[in-house]
Structure 1
């Protein structure tokens, strides 16, 4: 059976209906899909190795770290209206560069913090407030900080991590190492405390974490590495600082630097900062130094150090050669102080101290630290190089004076007569008025003597440890040195009441 044909009109109607259905379906589909989130690609993620952080360490040690606030009596301003003169530690007074860095570390008020107005009366004259750091070293409330933080203070307050404030009393200080100990009474409370590390095991490159109170902000943590050991920054005879690059700023003074075991390897005491802020160079008092001092201060004692009583200077290659000494080691004695243990024992200018009780003395700092670690009254064997050989001298150490004394040598004005010319050396000399040594009256500016620093007015007292009273003594010393195959002679001079040594090349011809 054949289907009846569809008319063209009918076909048009069917086509239009189908188009309408298609459009409606499309509209419905759009309506449905617009309510659904578009499919997105996955976010980029990198499967990196997990690096251990410092959070666990900080959580454990931070309760032991405190902010130290020091109130002082108001100091009168200078006549010009400026702040009072610098009153920092004695060992910075003679070093302008360190004094500037120290002032920046302590802050604009010279105390390491800021000046605050009294809360009850904003117009009241503000009292200086030092803001430093410290840490508990025992559960019964002993706190270690810097001497320069508490210096001149009349009242002390420590602020704990939880904000609790406790009054503290000053137990003791040691300005030479810039250490101080405070004590708080917690009413039976046991404080979280930390211990000193064996910093001999601390190596350059080890991680360290500093916790403190920079700019009065409260507990702040910074991290870095040990940059160097045994730094000498000219602060004093016992310089042996640990240098770190953890950011340390004003207010960090007295704060601890921890190793990854949570032990204190050093105490922040100074920074190098041309700008006043951290540039990644900070200096810590080593734990080994602090531990011994703190133990004495906690018992209410004072620090007493052994005293030898000598002026010393480094042994240079020229000095070593002039004395027939192998290597640039030891401490050259420029003079023994009057009534000192060294003078009583017979140590004289020109001796080179090479050992103390069998311990090698490599540098002048070694000698100062070694002697300082002995108790006064201790008898020690001092090995010196004298006359081309070693000899041992027994010395009963004294007590280091509060103010380090300088050896004194009488320097008299010389009469302008009986001049003797030492052409080969570029010197003109004359006998001193008291007959002890030769006064330099003229120095050839193009001579070796001028290059080595000899000046008119210097008094030459000895050459190669032999006293000189005439120009012929100098010539003889030169000849003897030449016969011994030496290229240098050691010249002892007195200038401004101080002894020092220089070397001069053996004259030719």
Structure 2
């Protein structure tokens, strides 16, 4: 008993002696030198957009009614927004988020020294929310390098610089909280999560490591209040580099394409393929005439490997296929029933929505939107595809609103695409109404719907 205190002190002393060598990434003494070196490359981005339409009128009889003639009527008005960006090339190449400059008529870039330059859009990618801008400057601009985001680890220190709420040059510090986050914003989700404070206006700004390299582009936050609660998300720099290179070279992205829709599986489903754990990507639909169909793949096949890469889930296959070189032949390993098979697939090019010159809305005199079973449904066009991040090969009716209290409210989400009703495809609102009416007349119970949610096909049943 008398020896415990001395033993405790000995152990405490041992811990103190080991502490410096036990942690490979100790907290830095400060960030002032790093911030001074990096801040000149981080810019404020302000955009303006002309919007047609009248502003709302003040109510009749209101003390403010007299201002209606001044503020409530008239033609176009200008809307402004703010964001961040950073220079990656001294010749004036800037990275930011697509949503920062989306729809802008004018884009101004302001540097920390007060210099403001007009920017032009080199290219943008809705799928990854990235954009590349170019400014013309008489002198070389301060630039920062893109690092290797694959080497970033949970617990590493990071530094964010940006323009939150218009407060340019704001710096916040934190750590990487997690990697490979899927926040359901698109099919290429692979975010770095950080607790560094990120707020409105930080979008498009850089997330630096302690070597001064950009390892992410700050893009989104999870917050019940709209302000930072320590859960921010950044696009990894390796994805940024790949997209930026394509935008600079082609003006648009060029992604590989298999021609399949896939979903992840549960352990129970895995057992039907003779597997003891949930892995792979289940093929739920195949594009007619696409690379996968030509290679002999079928709905119900479970893809387990793509060349030398093991496929853990549907997200993994989507990313690796998109990253593949167009025209390249790859070996795809899959299971059909319980039998392992291999086929060779020639990668095609994914047709991006932005590449389409023609509107995809069907030519029809029928209504293009309407209410069906508590859902506001609209025929898909390019605008709706971009708004809800819907692929060009998805067909059906997109859900734009849901009635409160309807059966659909607890089962359907805005942005879902209704592909089938009663196991028959629907292309127009009238198709949907006629199909529901026929099923209701038959008295067969709830209406079966096949929903496409970010490439995942989900069966749903709605009560009349």
Residue from 112, 128, 147 that aligns with 1:161: 112
Residue from 186, 191, 207 that aligns with 1:236: 186
Q: Is the 8 A contact 1:311 1:406 kept in 2?
A: no
Residue 277 (structure 1) aligns with: 227
Alignment of 1:329-408 (within 5 A): 329-403=279-353, 404=391, 405-406=393-394
Residue from 248, 266, 276 that aligns with 1:298: 248
Residue from 17, 28, 39 that aligns with 1:62: 39
Residue from 286, 291, 300 that aligns with 2:236: 286
Structure-1 separation of matches of 2:29 and 2:99: 36
Residue 419 (structure 1) aligns with: none
Alignment of 1:89-238 (within 5 A): 127-187=78-138, 189-238=139-188
Structure-2 separation of matches of 1:154 and 1:406: 30
Structure-1 separation of matches of 2:239 and 2:158: 18
Structure-1 separation of matches of 2:159 and 2:274: 48
Cα pair distance change 1:185/1:407, threshold 3 Å: closer
Structure-1 separation of matches of 2:79 and 2:203: 17
TM-score (norm 1): 0.62
2:51 counterpart SS class: coil
| Offset of residue 76 of structure 1 | 2.3
Q: Is the 8 A contact 2:50 2:77 kept in 1?
A: no
2:94 counterpart SS class: strand
The count of corresponding residues between Structure 1 and Structure 2 is 340
Q: Is the 8 A contact 2:50 2:76 kept in 1?
A: no
Cα pair distance change 1:185/1:410, threshold 3 Å: closer
Residue 446 (structure 2) pairs with residue 495 (structure 1): no
Cα pair distance change 1:345/1:262, threshold 3 Å: same
Alignment of 1:44-63 (within 5 A): 52-63=29-40
Alignment of 1:319-330 (within 5 A): 319-330=269-280
Unaligned 5+ segments in structure 1 are 1-48, 82-122, 415-439, 443-454, 459-493, 503-509
Structure-1 separation of matches of 2:285 and 2:156: 42
| Offset of residue 298 of structure 1 | 2.4
| Offset of residue 200 of structure 1 | 1.1
Structure-1 separation of matches of 2:126 and 2:450: 30
1:385 counterpart SS class: strand
Structure-2 separation of matches of 1:223 and 1:248: 10
| Offset of residue 50 of structure 1 | 10
TM-score (norm 2): 0.68
Cα pair distance change 1:411/1:73, threshold 3 Å: closer
Alignment of 1:443-458 (within 5 A): none
Alignment of 1:239-250 (within 5 A): 239-250=189-200
RMSD: 2.9
Q: Give CA-to-partner distance per residue, 1:424-464, whole Å, 9 cap, x none.
A: xxxxxxxxxxxxxxxx997xxxxxxxxxxxx8565xxxxxx
Residue 49 (structure 2) aligns with: 72
Cα pair distance change 1:179/1:279, threshold 3 Å: same
Q: Is the 8 A contact 1:65 1:135 kept in 2?
A: yes
Q: Is the 8 A contact 2:263 2:456 kept in 1?
A: no
1:339 counterpart SS class: coil
Residue 403 (structure 2) aligns with: none
2:33 counterpart SS class: helix
Q: Is the 8 A contact 2:264 2:313 kept in 1?
A: yes
| Offset of residue 168 of structure 1 | 1.3
Q: Give CA-to-partner distance per residue, 1:458-484, whole Å, 9 cap, x none.
A: 5xxxxxxxxxxxxxxxxxxxxxxxxxx
